[in-house]
Amino acid sequence: MKTRIIALSGSLRRDSYTTKLVKAFQKSAPEDVALELIEIGNLPFINEDLEKDLPESVKAFHEKIRESEAVLFATPEYNRSYSPVLKNAIDWGSRPEGQNHWNNKPAAAIGCSPYSLGAFGAVNHLRQVMMYVNLLTLQEPEFYLSKASCFLGEDGNVSDPETQNHIDAFWIAFTDWIERLKR
Ligand SMILES: Cc1cc2nc3c(=O)[nH]c(=O)nc-3n(C[C@H](O)[C@H](O)[C@H](O)COP(=O)(O)O)c2cc1C
């Protein structure tokens, strides 16, 4: 049985580098891992009024989290923070009150930017919130990719060997982390 990991991309943009980064992680995933990029753009804005009768999209999202063994969060950087679409998904995952679907789930955060700081600010804000919702978050290695437009192609292709090595090393650490938390 493959280890089922879900990936959330914090960008809804058609040609998103963040989504291309997730595809690069999919292409480089170990053979015993199934990394599924899941839909979060269909979730309504968080609104407690909707909690009495949860929308189908939210129920389906909760089910995806429940079925997964771990979660990979990928974020772009918006004004030195992570994206609202990702925050919205994290918030829905933590609701209704008393039903935190993230609780004790192994997780990791990665980020990229076409500019020089590689979404460092975004990933660090993201990790702070991941800690609060009790996602068991991989600490090392960190993953920030700058100049993403130069390195990430279509269908998970990575043109830069150093970036590919970083992705491979990240996978080793992440899968080891998931295994360790099973013991
Ligand atoms: C509202 C907004 C704020 C942004 N702020 C930053 C920023 O703080 N740092 C950065 O490196 N890029 C910033 N950018 C540029 C994004 O990195 C760039 O648009 C990137 O392509 C978005 O990720 P995506 O390709 O996955 O959609 C910002 C873009 C938007 C739309």
* 83 CB within 6 A, ligand 1: no
Q: What is the distance between the terminal CA atoms of the chain, rounded to a whole angstrom?
A: 17
What is the best residue among 77, 123, 151 to mutate for testing ligand 1's pocket, by most ligand atoms within 8 Å of CB? Answer: 77
* 115 CB within 6 A, ligand 1: yes
* Cβ neighbourhood burial of 139 (10 Å; 0-12, 13-18, 19+): exposed
Assign 94 a pLDDT band (cuts: 50, 70, 90): very high
Residue with CA nearest ligand 1 atom 10: 77
Does the pLDDT of residue 8 top 90, yes or no?
A: yes
pLDDT > 90: percent of the chain: 98
Residues 6 or more apart whose CB falls under 8 angstroms from that of 54 comprise 62, 96
Distance from the CA of 133 to the center of ligand 1, in angstroms? Answer: 25
Residue with CA nearest ligand 1 atom 30: 78
Q: What is the maximum span of the chain, computed from C-alpha positions, in angstroms? A: 50
Spatial contact of 123 and 75, defined as CB atoms under 8 Å apart: yes
Does residue 141 have a cis bond before it (omega within 30 degrees)?
yes
* 117 CB within 6 A, ligand 1: yes
CB atoms within 10 A of CB 69: 17
pLDDT at 183: 79
* 45 CB within 6 A, ligand 1: no
Question: What are the strands, taking DSSP E only, across the chain?
Answer: 3-9, 33-37, 70-75, 106-112, 136-137, 144-145
Residues 6 or more apart whose CB falls under 8 angstroms from that of 145 comprise 21, 110, 111, 112, 113, 118, 119, 151, 152, 163, 166
pTM over cut 0.85: yes
Over residues 4-31, the mean pLDDT reads 98
* 96 CB within 6 A, ligand 1: no
Spatial contact of 164 and 158, defined as CB atoms under 8 Å apart: yes
Over residues 51-60, the mean pLDDT reads 98
DSSP 52: G
Domain ranges for the chain, please list them.
3-182
Distance from the CA of 78 to the center of ligand 1, in angstroms? Answer: 5
- From the alpha carbon of 15, which atom of ligand 1 is closest? 25
Supply the CATH classification number for the domain 3-182: 3.40.50.360
Summarize pLDDT for 123-137 with one digit per residue, the tens: 999 999 999 999 999
Residue 145 Cα distances to 24, 39, 131, angstroms: 12, 23, 22
